[in-house]
């Protein structure tokens, strides 16, 4: 009985996510659902990415947090449209919450909408919001055992960004092990090694993302 309740919630969410998806498609909009545990570097990656791409691509951001508007304030400083969702306790965003932001966003003006999910390595992976793809960040300070211990997010994500590689000399973490374990779970995953502090590895990420946006614009 308990299982069927959970299943119903996920099915109801899938329906709303599908409606969101149809609306995004009408606008040839690329939507990325960005996930990670707290502090892995989601907002830092967005700040870097916005800075690098905003001349070529029209970006918007939805910020998801349990509480506070600090991340939205960081993004607003970069002069692009941003909406903050406070879940008030929920550990993930869902289709409904995303739909509620539409009156605040001019979807027709955007090429790329990024949804920064609530910091959590588990729950966000279970809920679609209408995205084209999920991307996740794992920072090297979290440890190279994380793919094996938290496989769902790795399974659901098309992209893995291994962040904070500038800290590798100080932590016991092997990037090769992260790669191997992640690819065991999801062999199709595209992996980038980056530092949002130094900028290392980010050019390849920008190119990949621009290509994703271009492909949908032409569709
Ligand atoms: N050394 C180092 N620090 C980083 C890097 N990327 C992010 N940080 C730092 O890590 C901390 C968390 O970064 P955020 O970008 O706020 O992380 P987040 O994933 O958005 O955090 P939540 O939204 O709270 O889940 C900040 O102090 C950043 O300056 C990096 O590549 N190297
Ligand atoms: Mg953040």
Using one digit for the tens of pLDDT, what is the confidence trace for 103-137? 999 999 999 999 999 999 999 999 999 999 999 99
* 49 CB near ligand 1 (under 6 Å): no
The predicted-structure confidence for 5-50, as pLDDT tens digits, reads as follows 767 888 999 999 999 999 999 999 999 999 999 999 999 999 999 9
Q: Is 163 in the pocket of ligand 1 (CB under 6 A)?
A: yes
Q: Rounded mean pLDDT of the chain?
A: 96
- Is the model's pLDDT at 85 over the cut of 70? yes
Question: The tokens 């506070």 sit on which residue?
Answer: 68
CA separation (Å) from 145 to 108, 113, 193?
42, 31, 17
Measure 164 CA to ligand 1 centroid, in angstroms.
8
Q: Which region holds residue 160: left if phi is over 0, alpha if psi is between -120 and 50, else beta?
A: beta
The Cα–Cα gap between 45 and 161 comes to 9
- Residues, CB within 5 angstroms of ligand 2 (ion): 42-43, 71
pLDDT at 9: 83
Q: What is the CATH number of domain 2-218?
A: 3.40.50.300
Query: Residues with Cβ < 8 Å from 73, sequence gap 6 or more?
Result: none
Q: Which residues contact 30 (CB under 8 A, 6 or more apart)?
A: 111, 112, 113, 132, 212, 213, 216, 217
Nearest to 206 by CA among 58, 52, 34, 80: 52
pLDDT band at residue 219 using 50, 70 and 90 as cut-offs: low
Which phi and psi (to 5°) does residue 147 adopt? -55, -45
Distance 3 CA to ligand 2 centre (A): 32
State the distance between the two ends of the chain, measured CA to CA, in whole angstroms. 43
d(CA 87, CA 104): 17
Of all residues in the chain, the percent with pLDDT exceeding 90 is 93
Residue carrying the six token digits 């965003």: 93
Ligand nearest to the CA of 138: 1
Name the closest-CA residue to atom 32, ligand 1: 164
166 lines ligand 1 (CB under 6 A): yes
The fraction of the chain above a pLDDT of 70, given in percent, is 97
Contacts with 139 (C-beta within 8 Å, 6 or more apart), sequence order: 36, 39, 40, 41, 162, 163, 164, 167
Q: Which residues of 178-208 are buried (b: 16+ CB within 10 A; e: fewer)?
A: bbebbeebbeebeebbbbbeeeebbeebbee
3-class DSSP state for residue 62? strand
Domain boundaries, the chain: 2-218
Does ligand 1 have an atom closer than 6 angstroms to the CB of 41? Answer: yes
Residue 178 CA from chain centroid, whole number: 19
pLDDT tier, 2 (very low <50, low <70, confident <90, very high otherwise): low
């Amino acid at each position: 009985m308990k299982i069927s309740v959970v299943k119903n919630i996920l099915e109801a969410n899938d329906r709303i996510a599908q409606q969101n998806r149809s609306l995004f498609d009408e606008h040839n909009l690329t939507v990325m659902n960005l996930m990670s545990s707290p502090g892995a570097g989601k907002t830092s990656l967005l700040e870097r990415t916005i800075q690098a791409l905003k001349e070529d691509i029209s970006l918007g951001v939805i910020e998801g947090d349990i509480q506070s508007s600090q991340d939205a304030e960081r993004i607003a400083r970069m002069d692009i449209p941003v909406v903050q969702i406070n879940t008030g306790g929920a550990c993930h965003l869902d289709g409904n919450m995303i739909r509620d932001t539409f009156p605040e966003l001019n979807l027709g003006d955007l090429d790329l909408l990024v949804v920064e999910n609530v910091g959590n390595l588990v729950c966000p992976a279970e809920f679609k919001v209408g995205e084209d793809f999920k991307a996740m960040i794992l920072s090297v300070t979290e440890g190279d055992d994380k793919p094996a211990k938290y496989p769902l997010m790795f399974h659901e994500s098309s992209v893995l960004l291994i962040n904070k590689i500038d800290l590798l000399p100080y932590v016991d973490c092997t990037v090769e092990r992260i790669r191997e374990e992640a690819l065991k779970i999801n062999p199709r995953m595209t992996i980038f090694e980056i530092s949002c502090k130094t900028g290392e590895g980010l050019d390849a990420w920008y190119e990949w993302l621009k290509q994703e946006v271009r492909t949908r614009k032409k569709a």
